[in-house]
């Protein structure tokens, strides 16, 4: 029997049905680059992106634009979707460049990348509970497993994608000015690894023009693989995931925090906090809707590149403690972020941001 409900269309990375009345007037607003509403649109980019967002039978001329303000700290103008539709987490897509006009012709074999991560996991398992760590100059841990896994990943990337750049925690930068740059944390959570804790991971991110594009995070002890496909869907193993659908905090909600949260931060979060030892894993638990958000303290790009790709695809957002969107391009030379980060479902940013601050 035919349904009276409106057809569902793919909007960004979440399915949303339009309201019953879908005849809103066309509106033009400025986009994020601070253009005036009277300026001509950048048709070569937006037409391509918006056509993909609406599907093959949707023309560019059917799209409208709207402004979305999510917090007093963060206000963005974004290109949007067909008349009458809402884009629940459009801000995260626009902030990170994830409205991609060529996703249907991506030549990145994500099944192969997952195999790389699992091969790295097999190496790490061979060392787990039988490894001696060494301190790097910054006092963080490194082990033979870190070095061996990164060497494996670099070898496979260069063989498969020789025109791509690489950035790795242990072996530095290679051609990071290229369009595609792989960002590797061969063993995220080395401290946990050295101490026999299970929540460490292999993190493989891919940036495009400096923005998170694809990612794989493999947690070998739990046999969990989080990843994003070229169409922008996030998965835990083969199960689609999305961030927690909530606009308030419950006392039973939990939030991953840095291991030194008790000395470096003031956290007034009414729920529970946990430190799992891996920033990549923290991103995954927010992306899968288990954690309601996470505080990430001054990460490097290799800590978060894959996690952000997964988070954004699942409907999350990353902002600095002053409420500004994270700009990953500025981290391509190896610097850490100047401020801690808050990651969360877009709708929760306004609720969580006032609850966290740096200790004075």
Domains of the chain and CATH, by start: 9-87 (no CATH), 106-240 (3.30.540.10), 254-358 (3.40.190.80)
For the segment 90-133, what is each residue's pLDDT rounded down to a tens digit?
333 333 334 444 433 368 999 999 999 999 999 999 999 987 76
Average pLDDT, integer, range 149-168: 97
Question: Could you give the 3-state DSSP secondary structure of residue 161?
Answer: coil
Give the H/E segment covering residue 208.
strand 201-208
Average pLDDT, integer, range 162-168: 96
β-bridge pairing 341-345 and 356-358: unpaired
More confident residue, 97 or 176: 176
Across the chain, mean pLDDT equals: 76
For the segment 212-257, what is each residue's pLDDT rounded down to a tens digit?
999 999 999 999 999 998 788 999 999 999 999 988 999 999 999 9
For the segment 268-318, what is each residue's pLDDT rounded down to a tens digit?
999 999 999 999 999 999 999 999 999 999 999 999 999 999 999 999 999
Residue 49: is its pLDDT beyond 50? no
Cα–Cα distance, 225 to 206 (Å, whole number): 16
Strand partners, 65: 79
Give all strands of the β-sheet with 294-296 in edge-to-edge order. 294-296, 341-345, 316-320
Query: Under 8 Å CB-to-CB from 117, ≥6 apart: which residues?
Result: 202, 204, 216, 217, 218, 225
| Residue of 228, 225, 233 lying closest to 206 (CA atoms) | 228
* pLDDT value of position 101: 41
């Amino acid at each position: 029997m035919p349904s009276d409900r409106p057809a569902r269309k793919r909007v960004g990375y979440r399915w949303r049905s339009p309201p019953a009345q879908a005849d809103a007037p066309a509106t033009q607003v400025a986009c994020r680059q601070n253009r005036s509403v009277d300026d001509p649109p950048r048709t070569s980019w937006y037409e391509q992106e918006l056509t993909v967002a609406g599907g093959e039978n949707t023309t560019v001329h059917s799209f409208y634009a709207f402004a979305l303000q999510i917090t007093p700290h963060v206000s963005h103008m974004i290109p949007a979707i067909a008349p009458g539709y809402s884009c629940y987490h459009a801000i995260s897509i626009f902030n990170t460049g994830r409205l991609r006009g060529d996703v249907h012709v991506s030549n990145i074999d994500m099944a192969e990348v997952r195999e790389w991560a699992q091969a790295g996991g097999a190496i790490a398992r061979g060392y787990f509970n039988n490894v001696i760590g060494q301190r790097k100059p910054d006092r963080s841990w490194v082990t033979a497993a870190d070095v061996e896994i990164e060497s494996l990943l670099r070898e496979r990337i260069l063989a498969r994608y020789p025109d791509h750049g690489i950035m790795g925690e242990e072996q530095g930068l290679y051609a990071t000015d290229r369009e595609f740059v792989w960002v590797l944390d061969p063993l995220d959570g080395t401290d946990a690894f050295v101490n026999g804790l299970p929540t460490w991971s292999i993190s493989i991110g891919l940036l495009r023009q400096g923005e998170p594009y694809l990612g794989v995070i493999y947690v070998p002890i739990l046999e969990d693989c989080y990843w994003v496909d070229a169409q922008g869907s996030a998965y835990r193993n083969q199960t689609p995931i999305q961030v927690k659908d909530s606009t308030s905090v419950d006392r039973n909600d939990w939030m991953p925090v840095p291991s030194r949260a008790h000395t470096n931060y003031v956290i007034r979060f009414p729920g529970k906090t946990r430190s799992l030892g891996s920033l990549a894993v923290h991103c995954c638990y927010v992306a899968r809707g288990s954690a309601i958000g996470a505080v990430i303290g001054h990460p490097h790009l290799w800590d978060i590149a894959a996690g952000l790709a997964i988070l954004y695809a699942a409907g999350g957002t990353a902002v600095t403690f002053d409420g500004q969107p994270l700009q990953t391009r500025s981290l391509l030379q190896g610097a850490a972020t100047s401020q801690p980060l808050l990651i969360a479902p877009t709708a929760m940013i306004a609720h969580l941001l006032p609850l966290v601050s740096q200790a004075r």
